Amino acid sequence: MAASEDNSSLFPIFILTIMALPLVPYTILRLFRAVSKKTKTIHCQCSVCSHSGKYHKSIFKRISNFSTCSNLTLLLLWVIMGILVYYIKHISRETQPFEPFSILGLEPGASDSEIKKAYRRLSILYHPDKNPDPEAHKYFVEFISKAYQALTDPISRENFEKYGHPDGRQGFQMGIALPQFLLNFDGASGGVLLLGIVGICILLPLLIAVIYLSRSSKYTGNYVMHQTLSAYYYFMKPSLAPSKIVDVFIKAAEFMEIPVRRSDDEPLQKLFVAVRSELNLDLKNIKTEQAKFWKQHPSLVKMELLIQAQLTRESASLSSALQSDFRRMLELAPRLLEELVKIAVLPRTSQGHGWLRPAIGVVELSQCIIQAVPLSARKTTGGNPEGIAQFLQLPHFNETVVKKIARKKVRTLQELRDMTVEDRAELLTQAAGLSAAEAHDVELVLEMIPSITVEITCETEGEEGIQEGDIVTMYAWVTLRRGNGLIGALPHAPYYPFHKEENFWLLLADPISNDVWMSQKVSFIDEAAAIAAASKAIQETKESLGAGVKEISTAVKEAVEKVKNGSRLIMGKFQAPAEGNYNLSSYCLCDSWIGCDRKTNVKLKVLKRSRAGTRGHVAEEGPADEGIEEEEEEEEEDYDDYESEYSDDEDDGRDKKGKLANGVAKSKGDSSSEGSGTDEE
């Protein structure tokens, strides 16, 4: 019986130990990360963002931020550990060792007379003749009488004083840290044990595997449904205008799962009237166009109208049911648009190139959704070649304010940013009619807008010059600067109700043939990951070239310093095409800001093959780009919406000046020198 009690008391100790081993160090790590986390504010501080409530930390939001699955699980495990500690402490009190002197209330070494007096005193309190309580009777028989006998019998007392037990020396006992019912293999306990083993060891893992496989078969690693990717791949075309990208974007299977209610008909009709000008309907056949629009699948109609409600900032007029669907659409939008960019740059041509125009269109749509700016605002206006969309993302700006500052010869966002603080404040308060507080908000947002510079080199590792068929490695240092000194930050997006990190897409492309040679996503939020990636890339490159340890160490230190100063290293490989000179362009596109993108010209000279083809497959000789011009002419027929700021039909004069998307001038010769170190004249 005693062995069974020992086993029962050992089991909670065993469970407590198993829980404490991983839980204690994990909790310490979580607390250390929370304490060491930077307290620097990385979101916009303007009054519009503050009033949006997105960054307001109310008591409910603090609780919701804490009430994550991992935090609640951690708290629950600590509560269970506390219960186990209390239970073990309680059990230890019940199973404390036999101490005759303590039971009788005496000090060790008491005389026989003191022992007898103590026994008589306790007998008055606990003897069955004096106290009819069954618990008193049990305590008197099992403890008081036994203690008195142990101390009055000479042999028992000698054993207790020498060995700590009245019965003399005790043998070593071992127990099994399992509950008692698992040790009884007969009767019902055996069935319980069998069911427990089958349930925990077989059925539970099988259930988890079934749930995981059913979910993984439906979703990708980015939590986008496979059905969505199939639809995007099917409807993606080489020349899709940004306004046509919306038609592809709304075909996501996630949007089809959002319910369409009969009660939504009237609010959607009102919303249609408010956003009709943004739907690209033919005004000459407006009735036919409207009927055609409403004949689409109800989910497509609903999603397109909700997207236009975001772009035109008409979401306040939506019903409560539509507000829920509207937020769900905005929550899904970033990752769906990211997958849409990946589909656009997916290798489609025989050379393994993706498509440039739809990729740019998707990024521009992402910018408009985050900033809640209509796509029509990107059209070229009379005095503004890049549209007024760049200005509409600023707080307190509207078409009237844009027209007022245009009279002062400020027609682009870059021209506004290039002004001094004093001149800009005077322009906004006197010419535009903004108050001092509103002008301060504009100043805060202008300091948040990033400025991007790109340095690109293309080379063949270990070889001089780039020959056809070589595997070319592109090294690109993308550097970000802000007026407020931040590197990683959240964009000014008061009309987007969720936290959105800035992401950039670096595309190396040929704008003439609409081919994307290489693409990669860039983020400036996680500095530690960027340092690790840059260090590894530089080290591997130097080791492949046979550099010494000191040279590798110096190069890694320089790369780490660059990353800490706001640069990110992007590496990519592609196969050199046939012999010739290629005028490529690198596009660094932001998915959150309008007007901060960067276009850089890259010259690539490919020589005729003269060495053994050990570095890659030799490209077949012949005109590799035949028929591209004819294909471009056919594709241009569908590209009838507003021109992107990266449209490839820019005039030659603009190309020669090397005018960039954010207004920073860079000569074509300079960018070509960055593009290839082997560009021989």
Mean pLDDT over 6-10 rounds to 58
Domain boundary among 64, 91, 118: 91
Domain containing 190 equals 184-214
Q: What is the pLDDT of residues 437-470, one digit of tens each?
A: 999 999 999 999 999 999 999 888 777 888 988 8
Token code pair at residue 562: 């660059």
> What does the angle CA 475 – CA 590 – CA 523 come to, to the nearest 5 degrees?
55
- Asked if the model's pLDDT at residue 495 lies above 70, the reply is yes
Give the number of other Cβ atoms within 10 Å of residue 319's Cβ: 17
Q: Are residues 324 and 382 in the same domain?
A: yes
Of the listed ranges 69-83, 158-172, 458-472, 583-597, the one predicted with least confidence? 158-172
d(CA 292, CA 297): 11
Confidence of residue 99 (pLDDT cuts 50, 70, 90): confident
Q: Are residues 62 and 110 in the same domain?
A: no
Of the listed ranges 267-276, 627-636, 655-664, the one predicted with least confidence? 655-664
The CATH number for 150's domain is 1.10.287.110
Q: What is the CA radius of gyration of the chain?
A: 37
Q: Are residues 353 and 475 in the same domain?
A: no
Percent with pLDDT over 90 in the chain? 38
Q: Are residues 134 and 197 in the same domain?
A: no
Of residues 369 and 69, which shows the higher confidence score? 369
Residue 442 within any structural domain of the chain: no
CB 676 within 8 A of CB 456: no
d(CA 404, CA 363): 29
Domain boundary among 606, 626, 644: 606
Q: Are residues 44 and 104 in the same domain?
A: no
User: For the chain, what is the mean pLDDT?
Assistant: 80
pLDDT at residue 646, as a whole number: 57
pLDDT at residue 322, as a whole number: 93
Domain boundary among 569, 584, 606: 606
Q: Are residues 386 and 513 in the same domain?
A: no
Q: Are residues 285 and 377 in the same domain?
A: yes
- Asked if the model's pLDDT at residue 38 lies above 50, the reply is no
pLDDT at residue 372, as a whole number: 94
Number of domains in the chain: 5
The CATH number for 230's domain is 1.10.3380.10
Q: What are phi and psi of 74, to 5 degrees?
A: -60, -45
pLDDT at residue 639, as a whole number: 43
CB 474 within 8 A of CB 572: yes
Q: Are residues 581 and 511 in the same domain?
A: yes
Residue 79 within any structural domain of the chain: yes
Nearest to 256 by CA among 310, 336, 195, 150: 336
Q: Are residues 466 and 520 in the same domain?
A: yes
Q: Are residues 527 and 472 in the same domain?
A: yes
pLDDT at residue 121, as a whole number: 86
pLDDT at residue 632, as a whole number: 41
